[in-house]
Amino acid sequence: MPVLLVTGSSGLIGSEVATYFHELGYVVHGVDSNQRAVFFGPAGDTRWNQQRLEATLPRFRHNELDVRDRAGILALVAEVKPDLVVHCAAQPSHDRAAAIPFDDFDTNAVGTLNLLQAVRVSCPETPFVHLSTNKVYGDRPNGIALRELETRWDYDDPAFADGIGESYPIDQSTHSLFGASKVAADVLVQEYGRYFGIPTCVLRGGCLTGPQHSGVELHGFLSYLVKCNIEGKQYRVFGYKGKQVRDNIHAHDVARFIQAFADAPRVAEVYNLGGGRDNSVSIIEGFERISQLSGRPMNWEYVEAPRIGDHMCYISDLSKMREHYPSWDITKSLDDIFEEIHASTLQRRA
């Protein structure tokens, strides 16, 4: 049976990937240290998701391991010799990184290096898929001409009608320390492809979402927004009139793309991975959608100052993904995403 090693397996993307590849017949080794609870407190705790995987997937093995543990990672990869590595473990919040710069860099950059080197030593033929982020572009997308619509910002430059592509510059802009540590990882993953020939893939995520997110204010946009609506908790909007736009992709469509890549791997590829224009939504549009679904008003306050480095409008251009892997496309619409998150949030509270 093929073997998958997935880090961050108790998180949103890691758990989806674990479940998806288990269904395809893989033995799945998950690596997670529940560090999300350390980063974000009890609301970020992912043990419930780990337990769910252990209870439902017979060929799932949880490894209580920190990606910063170099010897541990080298030993695990040498032992299981995976046929596919999907690296999802991370400190994922740009705001949080400023308070914990060493934890952030050690996890995001050094943890990725540990895993890459382990693959180079033990299984250099193995496809290595890395979850990067659109924050590698820093706040430079805010320099694209924008127009203000009633409920959202949009690009006012025909060159970006389909969104932002992979050739967009990544430097000379404000990234947050998180964006900087993810740039280091992103470039390392490309380098282990180009320099050593490992089939590596960098996925620069927009908003990755789905029902398994442990959303908190600092990370997990839609999951946290839905949770606030259902609990009647006040949601804070930081700047840009609440018209900032994110494109949302369901974790299932992320896993489907990873399968497409694993089936026909390439070397040192980079893709912008988001929901594209059809799955884009502004914060205030998101309020409207969830209120209609739940029948509850959104309780929110406005904070004038935007988050440092926050994008006013970010839409991923998906044409490279579609061109390289024509059998792949988005299958979960924004409606599907809202409905699933809404249903699962209610269920988790029951």
Ligand X SMILES: NC(=O)c1ccc[n+]([C@@H]2O[C@H](COP(=O)([O-])OP(=O)(O)OC[C@H]3O[C@@H](n4cnc5c(N)ncnc54)[C@H](O)[C@@H]3O)[C@@H](O)[C@H]2O)c1
The least CB distance from residue 91 to ligand X, in Å, is 6
Residue placing its CB nearer to ligand X in the complex, 61 or 296: 61
Indicate the residue among 20 and 157 with the shorter CB distance to ligand X. Answer: 20
Question: Is 184 in contact with 298 (CB distance < 8 Å)?
Answer: no
Instruction: Compare residues 254 and 298 and give the one whose CB is closer to ligand X.
Output: 254
DSSP at 110:
I
Name the strand (E) or helix (H) holding 300: strand 300-303
3-state secondary structure 211-235: CCCCCECCECHHHHHHHHHHHCCCE
Name the residue nearer to ligand X (CB basis): 106 or 162. 106
Q: How far is the CB of 92 from ligand X (least distance, A)?
A: 4
Residue 138, beta-bridge partner list:
none
Strand partners, 164: 316
Q: How far is the CB of 153 from ligand X (least distance, A)?
A: 19
Q: How far apart are CA 98 and CA 276, in angstroms?
A: 29
Residues that bind ligand X (CB under 6 A): 8, 10-14, 31-36, 46, 66-68, 88-92, 107, 111, 131, 133, 205, 207-208, 213
Closer Cβ to ligand X, 31 or 118, answer by number: 31
Nearer to ligand X by C-beta: 67 or 201?
A: 67
Residue 258's nearest CA partner among 51, 14, 31, 60 is 14
> How open is the CA angle 272-111-175, to the nearest 5 degrees?
45
Minimum distance from residue 50 beta carbon to ligand X (Å) = 8
Distance CA 244, CA 247 (A): 10
Our CB check for ligand X shows the closer of 176 and 295 to be 176
Residues 316 and 247: beta-carbon distance below 8 Å: yes
Partnered with residue 282 across adjacent β-strands are: 245
273: amino acid identity, one letter: L
Q: How far is the CB of 272 from ligand X (least distance, A)?
A: 11
| Alpha-carbon span 40 to 42, nearest angstrom | 7
Q: Under DSSP, is residue 305 helix (H, G, I), strand (E, B) or coil? A: coil
